[in-house]
Amino acid sequence: MRLQRGMGTMAFGTGSKGARAAGRLRIMVLAGLAVALAACSEEKKVEAPDPVRPVKVTEISGPDRGRMLVYSGSVKARTEMNLGFRVAGKMTERLVDVGDKVTPGMVLARLDATDLQLAVRQAEADVSASQKQADISELAFKRAQTLNAKAITSQSDLEQASLTRDKAVASLESSVSALDQARNQAAYTELTSDKGGIVTEVSADRGQVVSAGTPILTVAVDGAKEVLVAVPEGDIAQFQPGKAVKARFWSSADLTLDGTVREVAGSADAQSRTFSLRVSLPDDARVLLGMTATIEVQTENALPAYSIPLAALAKKDEQPVVWVVNRESGKVASRPITVADFSDEGVRVTKGLSAGDLVVSAGTQFMKDDMTVRLPETVSSRFGNVNSLSTASVRD
């Protein structure tokens, strides 16, 4: 019995030691796994490649002579006539259309002249009656003179006959003037052109009742041509009468003329808030009415400036900057600049840049100082002006 108890005790002690050993083994295995996982994480973290971001760069060319003002307009005749009837009536004929050539004295349109012709007949009848009355008064005056000479009638009778004659003559003259006026009114039913030109607009047609003075046709008079443009109020101070400008035409890239500012509007348009500007052109057969023209002029007293793309402009600490690439070290650095204004080519910079600088023109939001830039070997030869672009790679 004692032996069995002792053996049981021994067996029990052996089982406890085995359990403790197994527990220690499991702890060691788990710790090893944790260390291995940590090592793998560190290895993966170290081996992760830096992100590469593509950007565009631009080489700065020489400075410009100032901002170029460019405005589009259309070619118009210096003189345009808005033609209308001098009397009211119903239009019965329109003999021209837009684009037709007209000559001096040419009939362009007609009104119904029935009523005005009746007025002429009435005036002719009044002249005839006044003429007869004047003849009768003249005979009566001569008779009164004869009787007065023989002392048959008094002097007052002679004076009365003289006044009656004068009144009849004045009435005749009034009737003649009324006849001339009636004939003129009838003649006004035909609309004619005083000068030669081209019809540019038609405002009325057959059957329409028009009042006196209502524009019916617009005629561009032959002769000098000019370009009409609209200039915003911010640039109108750059233009004065007599200023020389360049005129280019969309219909022909080779056609460039020297123009002169002839007229600057004294007030802005009520709707567009722009000022009308008229530029005189030299006589050239290639310039036709209605052609689209572009007026170019260089701003005066402007500081030389370098043009950069709008995407190259960035901001750092509330200051406009650009990111400049050092060709030798291949690193970028921010550089404060002074912005003069904005143009069609981008941003004009007066301070902070010089010819030959290489600036980042896209992806500036990813830039930071001392960031390494890897440029192609042909970068220096490929950038001839501000519009030359090349793709580079940037590594943090």
Residues 291 and 230 in one domain: yes
* CATH at 226: 2.40.30.170
Reported as a pLDDT band with limits 50, 70 and 90, residue 185 is very high
Whether 204 maps to a domain, the answer reads no
* CATH at 343: 2.40.420.20
Whether 82 maps to a domain, the answer reads no
Residue 103, classified by CB atoms within 10 Å of its CB into exposed (0-12), middle (13-18) or buried (19+), is: exposed
Q: What is the model's pTM?
A: 0.58
129 alpha carbon, distance to own chain's centre: 66
Residues 371 and 336 in one domain: yes
* pLDDT value of position 53: 58
* pLDDT value of position 7: 43
The average confidence (pLDDT) of the chain is: 81
Mean pLDDT, rounded, for 235-264: 91
Residues 332 and 348 in one domain: yes
Copy the structure tokens of residue 260. 């002169």
Residues 320 and 383 in one domain: yes
* pLDDT value of position 301: 62
Residues 325 and 359 in one domain: yes
pLDDT digits (tens, 9 = 90+) for 273-306: 999 999 999 999 899 999 999 999 887 766 778 8
Q: How far apart are CA 10 and CA 143, in angstroms?
A: 188
Mean pLDDT, rounded, for 93-110: 94
Residues 328 and 245 in one domain: no
Q: Identify the domain boundary among 249, 273, 298.
A: 298
What residue numbers bound the domain in which 32 lies? 16-48
How many structural domains are present in the chain?
A: 4
- Integer angstrom CA distances of residue 365 from 58, 97, 251, 285: 16, 60, 42, 54
Residues 294 and 323 in one domain: no
Residues 377 and 334 in one domain: yes
Mean pLDDT is lowest, of 186-200, 260-274, 301-315, 363-377, for: 363-377
- 15 pLDDT exceeds 70? no
pLDDT digits (tens, 9 = 90+) for 218-241: 999 998 999 999 999 988 988 999
- Highest mean predicted confidence (pLDDT) among 18-32, 112-126, 343-357, 373-387: 112-126
Whether 175 maps to a domain, the answer reads yes
Mean pLDDT, rounded, for 322-340: 86
- 14 pLDDT exceeds 50? no
Whether 243 maps to a domain, the answer reads yes
* pLDDT value of position 390: 41
* pLDDT value of position 102: 94
* pLDDT value of position 308: 87
- 383 pLDDT exceeds 60? no
pLDDT digits (tens, 9 = 90+) for 130-162: 999 989 998 988 888 888 888 887 888 888 888
Q: Identify the domain boundary among 234, 269, 298.
A: 298
Q: Give me the long-range contacts of 311-317 (CB less than 8 A, separation at least 24).
A: 311/56, 311/361, 311/362, 311/364, 312/58, 312/346, 312/347, 312/359, 312/360, 312/361, 312/362, 312/364, 313/339, 313/347, 313/364, 314/364, 314/365, 314/367
Whether 105 maps to a domain, the answer reads no
Mean pLDDT, rounded, for 36-54: 53
* pLDDT value of position 75: 94
Whether 140 maps to a domain, the answer reads yes
Residues of 118-144 as b/e, b for ≥16 C-beta within 10 angstroms?
ebbeebeebbeebbebbeebeebbeeb
- 19 pLDDT exceeds 80? no
Mean pLDDT, rounded, for 110-135: 93
Reported as a pLDDT band with limits 50, 70 and 90, residue 350 is confident
* pLDDT value of position 12: 42
